[in-house]
Structure 1
Amino acid sequence: MNPFVQDLLRSGAELTDAALERLLPSPDTQPHSIHRAMRHSVFAGGKRLRPILAMEAARMVSITGEIPSGAADLGAAIEMIHTYSLIHDDLPALDNDDLRRGQPTCHVVFGEAIAILAGDALQTLAFQTLSALPTPPATTVSILREVSLAIGTGVGPNSPLPPGMIGGQVVDIESEGKQPTAELVESIHRAKTGALITTSIVSGGIFGLAHIDHDFHADTIGRLRIFGEKAGLAFQIVDDVLDVTQSSEELGKTAGKDTASIKATWPAVFGVDQSLKDAEELIADAFAALEPFGKDAEHLKALASYLVERKH
């Protein structure tokens, strides 16, 4: 791995983990079972890509070269939402998986009931954390709206966005066993995985813009959204490829399940070689969206490259 990217991932994970440690109830807080279940999944060794993308987007737009104070709490909230989605995704009623991040899944250790509630509690704590961000009220509302739309089903007052994470999960479940099409695969990937990656980057940008005063907010957020959509889709394409080319030990989760379940994946429609080419083209498009930011975009671009070059 590129040493620069390695340092970004390490330092970003440390900031995120410190915030999570501070925000999550201790394992000795009553009721013990749910708080231990929450911490089991949150601290199971994730890469923290989404919070790191949020913090780096905040760094880029702040034009200070530094991650703004409080951005780690935004990242921690996004990681809580991501972890809640993984807990529920692994349940027997959904993907029925017993391995996540190289560790036994939450329901395997704590039982289905506590796992469901642990996911619920993480999502609730995430929104509590977002509501307390050190930003002006209008900015806080903008971030709350951005995140809630991205993880929902695509409905709501004046929703301009397509179905989010939960909507994508529903389409994924209902399409299982059916012959995948290019249109179906792209719609699932953009919603189920891409929406949360995009909102991590966009909400980071909204957070960072609250700390400076300039007049190109709409253009900045628009470019970040394009970058997030392109990078998010590339990330999931590579995830699909890794599922059919890597072992469970390398992935830290059960390999080959998508193929066994006849799931809608990019390689199932386009093949592995074309999938990798598509991911590279998407990253090139993502880079183009950030061209006006020059050197300030180097961190985000390096992370986007890592998304398609990773092996697990």
Structure 2
Amino acid sequence: MPDRSHISRRSLLAGGIALSAAVALPGCKAQMTGLLTSADAHPADYPTVRAVEFMGRWLAERTAGRLGIKVFPGGQLGSETDTLEITSFGGLDINRVNFAPLNSVEPMTLPFSLPFVFESVAHMRRVVDSAVGDEVLAAMEPHGLIGLCIYDSGARNFYNTRRAIRTPADMAGLKLRVPASDLYVAMINAMGANAVPIPYNEVYQSLAQGVIDGAENNWPSFVSARHYEVANYLSLSEHLLTPEALVMSKASWDNMPPGDRALVRQAAQLSVAEMRRLWDARVEEAKATIAQSSVEVNEVDKEAFSALMRPVWDRFITTPAQKAMVARILEMGEG
């Protein structure tokens, strides 16, 4: 397999179409080997990017360099919605995505995305490491995706350029960026603000130009994307602890020998511990950075926000399977 380190988004799309056609034709299926491509919207030094690079090094060591991973960080290949589509038809081998764009693809990813469904990071990790996490990953296969593992995304908080947010009343009139997800839009609107879905890599400019008033994300993203330079109010709502998924194209997966598939799975599982180690350290670093900045940090009346979320849960959690999964998640909480 040729080195694809200089591949463009356009050629990825073309390559994906060609690969899909080859898989569909009898006798055209060739086994995949060599350098796998991976996309991430986060910057090059972000824990998820470094975790996938860890996977690549581990694979290279175990196969004497026959397998490896080339990561394209920083949204080089497009938004998460774009790269997810590219991955699903085989134009990209591996992709790290938030659960938000997966919500419109697979209904069983929705329980992980519910506001206030997780009580803490420990609760979230306990759930994704259980059979519940395995079931969510397996549910992606009919959509052309192989779920490899689940990474952290931390507690998401609100930040904006206008005022401190302490109660739902403070949300009135604010234009807040959200990922491309109907659930996120419903959540923000139910809280009293106006949801504005735009790509992650456009948030900084949109904040600086006043296109949006604020956004919501975790501590490391708030710092690594430099949003704290333009948004002076950080409100610790912790409304979401939605994890992130590492997925592989089923077309790429099916073209790999069974032994290589096993290696990729093992590398992905090992990368979770590495990602969490890096993540926990990054959270503390981000908090220290904000403590030295001009950002005003305030606590939030979480119960007041949580009380507004039942209609959102009822709108998106509609099937018996989804309701059963939510019940299992809540049972694994501390309270």
User: Which of the five TM-score ranges fits, normalised by the shorter chain?
Assistant: 0.3 to 0.5
Structure index of larger Rg: 2
Whose relative contact order is higher, 1 or 2, with alpha carbons under 8 Å and at least 6 apart?
2
> What TM-score comes out, normalization by structure 2 length?
0.31
Structure (1/2) with the larger strand percentage:
2
> What TM-score comes out, normalization by structure 1 length?
0.33
